[in-house]
Structure 1
Amino acid sequence: MPQTLDAAAVRTWCSLALEALGREREEIDAINVYPVADGDTGTNLYLTVESASQAVEAVFAAHETGSSAPAPADVVRAMAHGALIGARGNSGTILAQLLRGMAERLGDGDHLAGALRRAATLAREAVAHPVEGTILSVAGAAAQAAGASPQDAVRAAYEGARQALDATPGQLAVLERAGVVDAGGRGLLMVLGALVEAVTGEAPVAPVLAHVRHEIGDPGLEPCAGGGPAFEVIYLLEADDAAVARLRTRLDGLGDSLVVVGGDGLWNVHVHVDDAGAAVEAGVEAGRPYRIRITHFDTAAAPREREQVQRAVVVVVPGEGLSVLCAEAGATTVLARPGEPLASGELVDAIRRAHAREVVLLPNSAELRHTAAAAAEQARTEGVRVALIPTRAAVQGIAALAVHEPDRRFDEDVVAMTAAAGATRYAELAVAERQSWTSAGVCQAGDVLGLIDGDVAVIGADLAATAEVVLDRMLAAGGELVTLVLGEDVPDGDAVTARLERYVRDGYLAVDTLVYRGGRGSTPLLVGVE
């Protein structure tokens, strides 16, 4: 039996693991009661492995035109990197670290038993406060069993993991009360089963677990205690080791379920907190956070209810500050990355994370119209009722979210949100990167462009002065409220917004002004007029 993995075996492993998690995703979601009963562990593990598998396929695709196969070390490192950047949720983040640990040893030619031991060690080190009866216990048991049987490492690891998974309810009271095994551990068992099949060519016999709820949605499942943090915050972070050590300490004081995985300058950060903004700010202090995902927990809901709350809003935002703002309003957010178009799969992922029967989708960009429509159609095939409001700017999304009332009938809520978005004229102040022809004339590199409803209407040399002209044109048709969203990199940004607030107050007595911080990734200035 091979004691290490070649490139083809790694590829097969990823493919089989993804297939297995796809089959079991809903059932794993249904038994998810720890650390938060949010019913998404199976989905998170699936998406994590999907990202790993895509990275592996990209390596093979790059070698299709050549005569040689990819090196095993390149494939296992691609697998680990793909899992790191695509990790979702608590268990997905831990799985990414397990794969990283295996890749470290397999990439250096170590045997499978040594790789499994390194994986379990790294994963436990990544969790701020390890708890027994979780995916960590299952990983540790797999590594210990593999080390005791080096001639049959993968089968021994699988059997050790199976026994450890069966024991998890006796280690964690919340699992015992609910009558389930740990969801993350069950997902890991699927991944290890795929490894057995990839190495031996034979799939292991499906285990009969002593503690498994026999029917998804079993009414006997008890609610978990409420009172936990309100938000799950996940982001990728470019930072050095010293900065990450300080970040761990800072985040550990802000919340719980802290997992920080990665290395070599790239990290995946996962934490549950009440102050999502503080968690993101801590990342900014440590380095460069991006791909920020903030999910609002319904901590009062029972596990099954949390899987399908009645209604949710999914909103695309162009800056980290707006992501925090919308998440605090109860929305599930997707951060738009400059120069990196969103894929429909990312929006489908966000709709799944919302765990709702009904979802209102706010793309906040004309360029995302078809992408959002594709995501909505995919979600509908999964049984979710989705209404796509074609918002073209973040200020329209803010206006729609402000009138959202989840207790209203779905159609009435959608109509009210659509009307609020449609009644909001929008503008953007940006800086020209090069000389170009525009609808307002020729601009030079460095000029300030005032775009109203997507078209260049004003060309100026100063941000505040150009914004004043834009405001005059927009308010000429009337208005009651001006919304200003300031980007992070605007010099003297506070002075700019103070000047614009005074300008509106002095020139338009019946018009109020609201100011928000768009944060990193936002354009210099967004303007909305309602």
Structure 2
Amino acid sequence: MVDVLDSIDAAALRRWAYRCVDSLTARCDEINALNVFPIPDSDTGTNLMFTFRAAVESMRGAGPAADTRAIGRALAVGAVAGARGNSGVIVSQLLRAVAEAAADGPLDTVSIQAMLRRAQVLVSDAVSVPVEGTMLTVLAAAGRDAAAHDANVDLSTLVIDIAEATARALDSTTDQLVELREAGVVDAGALGLSVVFDALVEVVTGRIPPRRRYHRPRNRERTLVGDGSSPTNGCTGTPETVVGSTHGRPLGYEVVYVVHGIDDAQATALRAALSDLGDSVVVAGDGSGAWSAHVHTADPGAAVDCGIGTGSVRGVRISCFGLAEFGAGVGGDARRGPALSVGRDILALVAGDGAADLYIQEGATVVRCDEPIDSSVLLRAIVATKHREVLVLPNGALSAQELVAVGAAARADGKDVMMLPCSAMVQGLAALAVHDAARAAVDDAFTMSEAAAGVRWGSLRIAQERSLTWVGMCEPGDSIGLAGQEVVIVAARPLDAGCRLIDQLLATGAEMVTVLVGAQASADFGAQLAEYVTGAHPGVDVVVYAGGQPGDLVQFGVE
């Protein structure tokens, strides 16, 4: 006998979040195949899946003892910070509404009704041009059905009826948009939202609503210009060519980033500025000053500049829709690269002969940065790669703004570039260790990024001048230890500084320390550090490599 819930507490809210991830993952390909609006880029399922994964990761960070309020808050913060695409930003506002409704405790029928009303307001405020036949249509149907029920209705009846209303609204989307009617499909984002409400029914009632599977008619397959793919779902006919544009405006890129430290008025101004640059504009907040911005545009650099001019920008992601010539919006004639073979290249910015050998042994193409390099060096290396898909391990050698500019320019040359968040070579090595060319590029990039993020890193350097640090004054010749970019140790002797830095990096626990020894370190310095780790931190493995990098005496990676 399955227990039917009369409210959604912290444990049930956790189960719902996990179930959303599982359900969206299971139906990801189905949702992607239906994606024709606003751009037929076949990534709506992927975007929704990764947005919910980001929300779940944030939820895990709240800890096992977190109450309903904390769980809801974490889901909203994670979804906004990790939102992918137009659909991801929209669903982040549903989770923000969940967080607000859960602020007073477990969700009951009244708070579910309030949550849906609030979600519609948040999404309406976030989306620059609402369109019928999309996720907004399904969300509105859910809200109307919830509002039609008496406040005394039991929770299971309410969520079942909401899910049924969204399923009906989903089927109606085909006739509400020209693009959907021509393709013979329902809206991909709307299907994703219906999956989310069905997951809620499963958590509350223990039963999975029976649903049909949606398929794209074979004679209506599309492909993006220049994406090198053949028709999907077994179609053998000639695919229709689709240029990435909406409303007659040529659009080449999807830009998503998070802006911190702005208020509602500044978010409204950002939304207006992005609307001048492109379409599908969504600017959505998490309720605590962080806002996810999304736009389809031919000028990704200007879109990023809008955010930088508004607040503190993080997590910039720029994706190219295809190799169509998008016109003057990308600086004149778009340059096309040669026909590229199927596969993926890994480019890594590396300093030091030993470090370069490590990366090459793992299959990466190395761009040396022993001396400061110009971003044009990386751009030339990307354009020269054999394959269209290129994953870049920057390893802290270029600024975020430079990487954004390089990525945009490389995409104009026909490269599908992803800049992975690696701030040091030890992080890049961890990312490279989990690289799998057999995975889809987005999955490979996600897995590698997670591996890099799981590495706490630090470095040991010799001070070149007198300066004031967070831990006091350092003099020329002093040994300074940095955790990430912050000075946390100042000592007279390198070994003392190195040992103290190791202690700090291991303070929260770890299983392994990677030591990358630089060119200026003594011959036995790495062995001395390894001996200290073995004696002071039993059970922690240590591996030492001769990196030969200039500048850093040592780079440490802790995982």
User: Structure 2-normalised TM-score?
Assistant: 0.59
Residue pair 1:106, 1:112 contacting (<8 A) in 2 also: no
Q: 1:216 aligns with which of 218, 229, 233?
A: 233
Matching residue's letter, 1:216: N
Report 1:53-64 matches (<5 A).
53-61=56-64, 63=65
Alpha-carbon deviation of 1:218? 4.1
Alpha-carbon deviation of 1:184? 0.6
Deviations 1:169-191 (A, max 9, x none): 10111111112111111111111
Aligned to 1:135: 135
Query: Aligned with 1:34: secondary structure?
Result: coil
Matching residue's letter, 1:246: A
Aligned to 2:254: 232
Aligned to 2:194: 189
Matching residue's letter, 1:59: A
Alpha-carbon deviation of 1:201? 1.6
- Counterpart Cα distance in 2 of 1:48 and 1:312: 22
- Counterpart Cα distance in 2 of 1:444 and 1:55: 33
Query: Aligned with 1:380: secondary structure?
Result: coil
1:314–1:208 Cα change, 3 Å:
closer
Residue pair 1:161, 1:189 contacting (<8 A) in 2 also: yes
Matching residue's letter, 1:366: M
Aligned to 1:413: none
1:170–1:3 Cα change, 3 Å:
farther
Residue pair 1:3, 1:111 contacting (<8 A) in 2 also: no
- Counterpart Cα distance in 2 of 1:208 and 1:140: 22
1:37–1:72 Cα change, 3 Å:
same
Residue pair 1:294, 1:324 contacting (<8 A) in 2 also: no
Aligned to 1:202: 207
Matching residue's letter, 1:99: L
Alpha-carbon deviation of 1:248? 1.3
1:436–1:232 Cα change, 3 Å:
same
Matching residue's letter, 1:16: R
Alpha-carbon deviation of 1:167? 0.9
Residue pair 2:33, 2:216 contacting (<8 A) in 1 also: no
- Counterpart Cα distance in 2 of 1:140 and 1:442: 63
Deviations 1:385-438 (A, max 9, x none): 999xxxxxxxxxxxxxxxxxxxxxxxxxxxxxxxxxxxxxxxxx9998767899
Q: 1:323 aligns with which of 404, 416, 422?
A: 404
Aligned to 1:121: 121
Identity %: 38
Aligned to 1:256: 279
Residue pair 2:59, 2:71 contacting (<8 A) in 1 also: yes
1:245–1:381 Cα change, 3 Å:
closer
Report 1:129-528 matches (<5 A).
129-150=129-150, 151=153, 152-207=157-212, 212-213=216-217, 216=233, 218=235, 222-227=240-245, 228-238=250-260, 239-262=262-285, 263-298=287-322, 300=324, 311-317=388-394, 318-330=399-411, 331-332=415-416, 334=418, 366-377=425-436, 379-382=437-440, 442=478
Matching residue's letter, 2:136: L
Aligned to 2:48: 45
1:281–1:442 Cα change, 3 Å:
same
Alpha-carbon deviation of 1:133? 0.8
Matching residue's letter, 2:41: D
Q: Which has the higher helix share?
A: 1
Query: Aligned with 1:286: secondary structure?
Result: coil
1:153–1:298 Cα change, 3 Å:
same
- Counterpart Cα distance in 1 of 2:518 and 2:307: 33
Residue pair 1:147, 1:153 contacting (<8 A) in 2 also: no
Aligned to 2:328: none
Aligned to 1:417: none
Query: Aligned with 1:329: secondary structure?
Result: helix
1:203–1:119 Cα change, 3 Å:
same
Q: Does 1:36 align with 2:39?
A: yes
Matching residue's letter, 1:327: A
Matching residue's letter, 1:46: M
Aligned to 1:345: none
Aligned to 2:19: 16
Alpha-carbon deviation of 1:9? 1.0
Aligned to 1:104: 100
Matching residue's letter, 1:233: V
Alpha-carbon deviation of 1:103? 2.0
Aligned to 2:448: none
1:256–1:149 Cα change, 3 Å:
same
Deviations 1:227-263 (A, max 9, x none): 4311111111012222222111111101111000013
Alpha-carbon deviation of 1:51? 1.3
Query: Aligned with 2:438: secondary structure?
Result: helix
- Counterpart Cα distance in 2 of 1:180 and 1:299: 25
- Counterpart Cα distance in 2 of 1:386 and 1:118: 36
Matching residue's letter, 1:52: A
Alpha-carbon deviation of 1:225? 4.4
- Counterpart Cα distance in 2 of 1:278 and 1:383: 26
1:90–1:253 Cα change, 3 Å:
same
1:312–1:335 Cα change, 3 Å:
closer
